[in-house]
Amino acid sequence: MRLTKKGHACVRLETGGRVLVIDPGAFTEEDAAADADALLVTHEHVDHFNEQRLRAALDANPGCELWTLASVASQLAAAYPGRVHTVGHGDTFTAAGYDIEVHGELHAVIHPDIPRITNIGFVVDGSVFHPGDALTVPDRPVDTLLLPVMAPWNKIAEVIDYVRELKPTRAIDIHNALLSDVAPLIYDRMLGPNGPGVAGAEHLRLTPGESVEV
The string of pLDDT tens digits covering residues 14-41 is: 999 999 999 999 999 999 999 999 999 9
Range in 39-48, 113-122, 180-189 the model is least confident about: 180-189
Q: What is the pLDDT of residue 195?
A: 76
| Percent of the chain scoring above 90 in pLDDT | 87
- The pLDDT assigned to 199 comes to 66
Burial 31-66 (b: 16+ CB within 10 A, else e): ebbbebbbbbbbbbbebbbbeebbbbbbeebeebbb
Q: What confidence tens digit (pLDDT) does each residue in 113-167 have? A: 999 999 999 999 999 999 999 999 999 999 999 999 999 999 999 999 999 999 9
| Average pLDDT across the chain, whole number | 95
The partner residues of 98 in beta bridges, in order of sequence, read: 95
What is the per-residue pLDDT across 56-107, written as a single tens digit (0 to 9) for each?
999 999 999 999 999 999 999 999 999 999 999 999 999 999 999 999 999 9
List the 65-68 sheet strands across, edge first: 84-86, 65-68, 38-41, 18-22, 11-15, 2-5, 211-213
Q: At 5, phi and psi to the nearest 5?
A: -75, 130
DSSP 54-112: HHHHHHH-TT-EEEE-HHHHTTTGGGSTTTEEE--TT-EEEETTEEEEEE--BPPPS-T
Where does residue 102 rank: exposed (0-12), middle (13-18), buried (19+ CB within 10 A)?
Answer: buried
Q: Domain residue spans in the chain?
A: 2-207
Angle 83-91-56 from CA coordinates, rounded to 5°: 25
Give the architecture-level CATH label for domain 2-207: 4-Layer Sandwich (3.60)
Distance, CA of 27 to CA of 155 (rounded, Å) = 21
pLDDT score at 105: 97
Cα(208)–Cα(81) distance, rounded to whole angstroms? 32
Q: Rounded CA gap, 2 and 15, in Å?
A: 7
CB 159 within 8 A of CB 149: yes
pLDDT at 197 > cutoff 70: no
Share of the chain above pLDDT 70, in %: 99
Question: How are beta strands 211-213 and 2-5 bridged, if at all?
Answer: antiparallel
Provide the Cα torsion 29, 146, 121, 93; round to 10°: 90
